[in-house]
Amino acid sequence: MTDIELIERAVEEEAERILAANDRIWEFAELPFHEDKSAGLLCGLLKESGFTVETGLAGIPTCFTGTFSFGSGRPVMGILGEYDALSGLSQEAAVPVKKELMEGAPGHGCGHCALGTGALAAAIAVKKYLEEFRKDGTIIYFGCPAEEGAGSKQFMARAGMFDDVDFVYTWHPSTANQVDPMHSNAIMGANFYFKGLTSHAGATPYLGRSALDSVELMSVGCNYLREHIIPEARIHYAYIDAGGTAPNVVQDHATVRYEVRAPYVSQVKELYERVVNVAKGAAMMAGTTVECELAMAFTEYIPNMALASVADECMQEIGAPDWTDEDYRLAREFLNTYNEQTKTMIRKEIIDKYGEDRLEEILENPLDSEIHSFDPSKIKLEAGSTDVGDVGYAVPTLNINVATCCIGNVGHTWQMTAQSCSPIAHKGLLTAAKVMALASVRTMDRPDVIEAAKTEVKKRNGGKYTCPLPDSVKPPLDTY
């Protein structure tokens, strides 16, 4: 039996319980740092499959690992899994009409239910490969909470969880089948707590010092700051606490959360300090005080070229998910739920990726049915951020994308929630499992690839991973 035959058989043997796990985690829809049932389900499946499970790692109750070793235990391979949901995206499964399961409840609008279970299937398949072929090696499933919140992987890397790992593969639900060609932004986020003095806003406003004024002044300052930053950078904010609901009371407390992004973590750190200075100035102007609580930071993700060459070959061999007419029909119905402005953008994206001559064909059958070859010269910066970047600065890491939703799908929407518990996602996550498992066993037999991959990491991190958060910053389990 060849390696690809064993991997495909192993994943198919696990398909029933893996897909059931996806659907259960989709139902749980637990928010960042509170994925108790989801993590428990994944840990249970790992134990049933013969993995040694450790929980509560890196100071996070829902962070865990599942480890299996054979022979000497070298090399050490890692697979990353995620399982957190997003707030306010509750939606019925596989239904192309906006219909909440529970009003205002969370939903898997980024497909992390599929991400975590597909990664688990890959880890189990690698274990079976080591046993069947009696190969030396270790496979570790890393249970990573809160990617949609303050992240966990930077805390995991800071705790040394990847220090002894030779390489890592992961994936993300997507609209396309390819080695992820994106360079993601680095990001830093903090809560700014302003304190002032209450007073009667009508009778004695001059005795009060408004914390809410400080927050609004900070917003003005950051708006002016936007003109004087690099065009790739971003500044986001949200009012966490407006200081009350009574306009005739001067607000003595207010909290705003700011996040800043830029292509590289060094640029983010510099921009973050400028935002902190704006906050200090806002406090001075309003006569208040401000406390800054840095809570999250991700290093940028850049594909590891050595791993990409292996994974790209494996994707070509495994192939795209085998879509049916019913799958295409469902995808078409989801595509048609978007408004005309979004559809115009989708048509442009289809032309850019597939060519204008295929526009009508793709609109009729809007599921990616091919593998797009990885081209290192076409890596491009994307606006989003992920804590996978921190793993990539600690150990060779690669992310692949596999279609689990219609072409043109917009992430973090009810449409994505619905598709994440559908036959489309089921086929995508099993395909992703096969690709990651095959890439892992192919890489473990290529010391030259592993060495080249590690050399890339050393060039990026200078020989050692440095967490963008100081040791004093702990996982914000209840505050972010």
Interatomic CA distance for residues 183 and 175, integer angstroms: 17
Q: Which pLDDT value is given to residue 383?
A: 86
Q: Does 177 share its domain with 240?
A: no
How do strand 380-382 and strand 253-262 relate by DSSP bridges?
unpaired
**What is the predicted pLDDT for the residue at 115?**
98
Q: What pLDDT is stored for residue 257 in this prediction?
A: 97
* Residues 137 and 209 placed together within one structural domain of the fold: no
Q: Is residue 107 in some structural domain?
A: yes
User: Do 6 and 146 share a structural domain?
Assistant: yes
pLDDT at 479: 81
Answer yes or no: do 358 and 256 share one domain: no
Contact 303, 396 (CB under 8 A): no
196 and 71 assigned to the same domain: no
Exposure of 307 in the CB half-sphere (CA atoms within 13 A):
34
17 and 164 belong to one structural domain: yes
Asked if residue 311 and residue 258 are part of one domain, the reply reads no
Question: Which of 399, 398, 400, 403 minimizes the C-alpha distance to 320?
Answer: 403
Q: Is residue 475 part of a domain?
A: no
Whole-number pLDDT of residue 403: 98
Task: Give the end of a domain, one of 295, 329, 344.
Answer: 295
Instruction: Provide the number of structural domains found in the chain.
Output: 2
- Residues lower than pLDDT 70 in the chain: none
Residues 1 and 83 in one domain: yes
Evaluate whether residue 399 is within a structural domain: yes
275 with 176, same domain? no
**pLDDT, position 480:** 78
Domain of residue 365: give its range.
1-182+299-459
Rounded distance between C-alpha atoms, residue 25 and residue 113, angstroms: 6
Measured CA to CA, the distance from residue 367 to residue 264 in angstroms comes to 33
User: How many Å from the N-terminal Cα to the C-terminal Cα in the chain?
Assistant: 49
- Asked whether residue 467 is assigned to any structural domain, the reply reads no
Instruction: Judge whether 178 lies within some domain.
Output: yes
> What string of H, E and C letters represents the secondary structure of the chain?
CCHHHHHHHHHHHHHHHHHHHHHHHHHHCCCCCCCHHHHHHHHHHHHHCCCEEEECHHHCCCCEEEEEEECCCCCEEEEEEECCCECCCCCCCCCCCCCCCCCCCCECCCCHHHHHHHHHHHHHHHHHHHHHHCCCEEEEEEEECCCCCCCCHHHHHHCCCCCCCCEEEEEEEECCCEECCEEECEEEEEEEEEECECCECCCCHHHCECHHHHHHHHHHHHHHHHHHCCCCCEEEEEEEECCCCCCCECCCEEEEEEEEEECCHHHHHHHHHHHHHHHHHHHHHHCCEEEEEEEEEECCCCCCHHHHHHHHHHHHHHCCCCCCHHHHHHHHHHHCCCCHHHHHHHHHHHHHHHCHHHHHHHHHCCCCCCCECCCHHHCEEECCCCCHHHHHCCCCEEEEEEECCCCCCCCCCHHHHHHCCCHHHHHHHHHHHHHHHHHHHHHHCCHHHHHHHHHHHHHHHCCCCCCCCCCCCCCCCCCC
Beta-bridged to residue 291, according to DSSP, are: 193
Q: What is the CATH number of the domain that holds 269?
A: 3.30.70.360
| Residue 55: Cβ-neighbour burial (10 angstroms; 0-12, 13-18, 19+) | middle
Count the neighbouring beta carbons within 10 Å of the beta carbon of residue 343.
Answer: 15
Is 432 part of any domain?
Answer: yes
Identify whether residues 14 and 128 lie together within a single domain: yes
CATH value at residue 90: 3.40.630.10
Same domain, 217 and 134: no
- Phi, psi angles (nearest 5°) of residue 402: -135, 140
| Predicted local confidence at residue 429, as pLDDT | 98
Report the predicted TM-score, pTM, of the whole model to 2 decimal places: 0.96
- By the 8 A CB rule, do 210 and 407 touch? no
Q: Is residue 470 part of a domain?
A: no
Contact yes or no for 67/182 (Cβ under 8 A): no
351 and 445, same structural domain? yes
Answer yes or no: is 466 within a domain.
no
Give how far Cα 149 sits from Cα of 30, 57, 76, 167, 292, Å.
12, 17, 28, 25, 18
Q: What is the pLDDT of residue 240?
A: 96
